[in-house]
Amino acid sequence: MRLSKPVRWILYALGGLFAGLFLILFFLAFVRISIDLSSYKGAVEKAVSLAIDRTVKVDDKIAVTTSLRPIFSLEGLRIHNPEGFQEGDFLNVKTAEVQVQVLPLLLGKLKISKFSVKGLSVNLIENKAGGVNWIFQPPAESKPDVSPKPEADAKEAPLELTSDSLVLSRLVLEDILVDFRRPEMTESLQFNIAQCSGTMLPGKPLVLSMEGKLLKEPFITQVEVGSLQELLEDNRSWMNIKTEIAQTRFEFEGTFDLALALKSLKLKAAVTGDRLDSLNGLLNLDLPPLKTYSASAQLTVNESRRDLSDFDIQIGQSKLTGKLTADFSKTRPDVVIELSAPLIQLNDFDTGDWSPEGSNTAEPVDKAKEKKDTDPGADQDKTAAPDDTVDELLSAEVLERVNVRMNVRAQKVKSGSDELGSGSLTATLKDGHFSIDPVKLNIPGGSFSVAAFLFPDKKAPQASIRAQMENFDFGVLVRRANPKADMGGIINLDVDLKSAADSFDALMANGNGYFDFSGRLKNLKAGIIDLWAVNLIAAIATTKDDQASKINCVVGRWTLQDGILKPDVFLIDTTKIRICGKGRVDFKKEQIDLKMAPAAKKPEFFSLATPMQVNGKFADFGVGVQPGGLAGTVISFITSPLHVPVRRLFGQKLPADGADVCSMGIGLSNRSQKTPAGCK
């Protein structure tokens, strides 16, 4: 049957129309055409502004490139700050581009071939009223329609989530800057990502690689997260994060169960570094310059609790194991640390000039690094100092942040090759009060203990220290300076000081109490001291070691009252002379005024027993002869043939071994007012 001519024309027209549509779709799918949508910027800006209640501007263009993988691009996007904040942008994007696959969208899957952002800056601001600019509050909407939906909608099947429901073939981020400011801050905190790349492919983990700067510290980070397939099939996933920053390496690795994700997270964390104080700028603290350290632990995070198990810290040869728990359910977190040490090597904790009250004499890490780069021969071991804005570790601001109780037990303590025994430490930080209760060290032949307390309150500061040392081998300290030295002896110490001070550095300036010490020394030669008070000619002629004078002991019993330290007894006894001291040390004025007078143990001919004095400021004191002392010495030197024989016959002789003073007791119960023989 032959169709009529009008019907044929209609069919030809329809066929041509479908063919044209097919050709257009084919052309758009496989031939890239860039379409400028900038003329629609006003509509886009208005719609987004209404949605987020912020002014939104697109300064440059919006475009789309057609194909089965269309590319949407945008340039010059700005989101302004809300009312109540300074004028400017909350967010600024130079260029952003996203390329998606059209056909998977028809199956309810989002496959992104490329997502890139270049030149993104975010300014996070907190104003004086405590408001922040990063919280979006869209306009209030009318109440939703609660009328029942049609039955057809109710039976609509939900989209099924599969392992390829979300695919990111290529992620590229460049020049990303996040800036945070508060009213009291003189300088903003910045986080910069110079570049970041990543992928998330079906059946493979999410991989991110980024580098940039955090608070001016360069960092490199590698991130891996388990694939979507693992999460869907096993209801579990894993993560691995590695970061290098401030000459320190961090690693976090763990698994989590989706059913428990809102309740807990278990993660293994590790950190290693060559110098602990390289983290000063990052943490805003003045940390000690400990070298070659590492720490690792199993971290469990709950809603209000943190637990570190399998805790392992190593500093040089020293090793600590234990656990840490932190309770964040209270206003001030409570932290409990339990540590044990199979070995503590004191040499590993040599911190040089560092002090927990802060140090201004050391070279900052960044400057030291710069010097090292420009001068390879520069000293690499200089202590790094913090920036001027860092918090002192024992400042009131730091101590009030958290409550901490730490117990440390050491099975073996060594100083170099010397074994010092075992010991324990209990340190407590509670409500801004720091205390050591006490350190106990069992040393061969004796013991050592120290207890301290600090409350750096601005209105009523308090500080105290109590230390006792019995029969400590002085040779340990000597061998720390010179391992080949054979000098030694026994030292005893008894200190009890209390003060109204906000730091241990100010303890003496406002302190009261006593500071006593005594030492019986071995193989410590008096040397040039012999020339001070014995027969000058005999001292010069003495060349044999067995004839040289040796130091028997040193005894000091000092009383501190309102910042002024005075010696009740202060002497150095040798086999030939006894040197006695008196005077005062004013810690408030930082002034020293001490006089030292030598006396031969038997009257000597031609003796140079000239009284000496030490006076001046702590930072600039001088050593010299007492006023009138030189004239008296000259007269006594010339007339010695006349008065020495008489004094030898009728004068008091002092024992060569110093037995009358070297056994003198120290401490509160042994503060006799009797002046030792030979001292005036």
CA gap 332, 455 in Å, rounded: 17
Instruction: Show the DSSP H helices in 499-559 as ranges.
Output: 530-533, 536-541
Is residue 586 pLDDT above 90, yes or no? yes
Domain coverage including residue 667 = 517-680
Distance CA(345)–CA(480), nearest Å, equals 12
620 vs 155: which has the higher pLDDT: 620
Those residues with Cβ within 8 angstroms of residue 555's Cβ, 6 or more apart along the chain or in another chain: 517, 518, 519, 569, 570, 571, 573, 661, 662, 664, 666
- At 401, list the tokens: 């942040």
Distance (Å) of CA 130 to CA 90, 101, 127, 659: 17, 44, 5, 72
pTM, entire model: 0.56
DSSP letter at 142 equals P
In a domain, residue 442? The reply is: no
Which residue would you say has higher pLDDT here, 489 or 482? 489
If pLDDT is split at 50, 70 and 90, which confidence band does 63 have? very high
Q: Is the pLDDT of residue 237 over 70?
A: yes
With respect to residue 544, please indicate whether it lies within any of the assigned structural domains.
yes
- For the chain, the straight-line distance linking the first and the last C-alpha, in angstroms and rounded, comes to 147
Q: Is residue 653 part of a domain?
A: yes
pLDDT value at residue 402: 85
- pLDDT grade, residue 147 (50/70/90)? low
Nearest Cα neighbor of 607 from 574, 640, 565 is 640
The string of DSSP letters for 19-80 reads: HHHHHHHHHHHHS-EEEE-GGGHHHHHHHHHHHHTS-EEE-S-EEEEESSS-EEEEEEEEEE
pLDDT at 436 over 60: yes
Q: Which residue has the higher pLDDT, 375 or 211?
A: 211
Predicted confidence (pLDDT) at residue 372 exceeds the cutoff of 60: no
Give me the percent of the chain exceeding a pLDDT of 90: 23
User: 360 falls in which pLDDT band (50, 70, 90)?
Assistant: very low
The answer to whether position 541 is within a domain reads: yes
Q: Is 115 part of a structural domain of the chain?
A: no
Neighbours of 21 (CB within 10 A): 10
Strands 166-181 and 110-125, by their bridges, are parallel
Q: What is the mean pLDDT of residues 32-59?
A: 89
Give the number of C-alpha atoms closer than 13 A to the C-alpha of residue 87, restricted to the C-beta side: 0
**Inter-residue long-range contacts of 268-276, CB under 8 Å, 24+ positions, other chains counted:** 268/296, 268/297, 268/298, 268/299, 269/296, 269/297, 269/298, 269/299, 270/294, 270/295, 270/296, 270/297, 271/295, 271/296, 272/248, 273/246, 273/247, 273/248, 273/249, 274/247, 275/247, 275/365, 275/384
Is residue 132 included in any domain, yes or no?
Answer: no
Give the mean model confidence (pLDDT) for residues 88-103.
Answer: 92
Compute the average pLDDT of residues 617-621.
80
Residues 247-288 pLDDT 10s: 899 998 887 766 655 566 788 889 999 988 888 888 878 888
Amino acid at 244: E
Q: Is the pLDDT of residue 4 over 90?
A: no
Residue 179 has pLDDT above 90, yes or no: yes
Q: How far apart are CA 628 and CA 621, in angstroms?
A: 20
Domain count, the chain: 1
3-state secondary structure 297-344: EEEEEECCEEEEEEEEEEECCEEEEEEEEEECCCCCCEEEEEEEEEEE
Q: Tell me, what's the pLDDT at 227?
A: 86
The answer to whether residue 597 is domain-embedded is yes
Question: Tens digit of pLDDT for each residue in 521-566?
Answer: 777 665 555 555 454 444 444 545 455 678 888 999 999 999 999 9
**The pLDDT of residue 533:** 47
167 is written with which tokens? 């695919």
Residue 620 lies in a domain: yes
Q: Is pLDDT at 445 greater than 80 in this prediction? A: no
DSSP secondary structure string for all residues of 622-666: EEEEPTTHHHHHHHHHHHHHHHHHHHHHHSPPPPTT-HHHHT---
Instruction: Assess contact for 488 and 522: CB atoms under 8 A.
Output: yes
